[in-house]
Every structure is written in C-alpha cells, then in structure tokens.
Amino acid sequence: MFIWEEKPKTGFKRASEQRHAMYKKEIEDRAGLLLRLGYKARDVKARLKKSVDWDFDLQKTPDHASEVDRIVDDVFKRNQK
C-alpha cells in the first residue's frame, strides 16, 4: 500500500469541532476588521449574517449561524474605549 492511498486518521467529531472553531474565528476576525473600519454593531451583524447565509446557501444552516450576534457583541465589548 502506498502512503497516498491511506486515509487520514481523524475522527469526524474532532474535525467537526475544528471546523466550527474555524468558522467562529473567521466571524470574530471579520467583526474586528469591520469595527476598526468604523461600522456600527448592528451593521456588522447584518453583514456577517448575510455572509454566512451566502456561504451556506445550498446547504443546511450551520451551527455558527445562530452565534453571529453573540460573537459580534463580544468583539465590540472587548474593543470598547
């Protein structure tokens, strides 16, 4: 057997958790960028919700879609002056 024929030994649950964490981190990063560009929290929430809807248009709604408001609120609270 060749190395490239072997399947990676990652568990589905662990991969799913890593993917979920990656999506949450991406939302945090985008929210931080939009905050620094001067957008208001409600505008950032609307924009990021539309972005998630667009990304998963042909799939079922992902778990992180319901967390956009909380993530944006956390980012704005951390960065208040």
Q: Which domain holds residue 59?
A: 11-78
Residue 3 lies in a domain: no
pLDDT in tens, 15-59: 888 889 999 999 999 999 999 999 999 999 999 999 999 988 888
- For the chain, the domain total comes to 1
Report the b/e string of 27-46 with b at 16+ CB within 10 A.
Answer: bbebbbebbeeeeebeebbe
The reply to whether 5 falls in a domain is no
Task: Give the pLDDT of residue 22.
Answer: 94
**In a domain? residue 4:** no
Question: Is 60 within the bounds of a domain?
Answer: yes
**Would residue 1 count as lying in a domain?**
no
Confidence of residue 68 (pLDDT cuts 50, 70, 90): very high
Tokens of 70: 């909380």
29 lies in a domain? Answer: yes
Residue 46 inside a domain? The answer is yes
Alpha-carbon gap, residue 14 to 27, rounded angstroms: 20
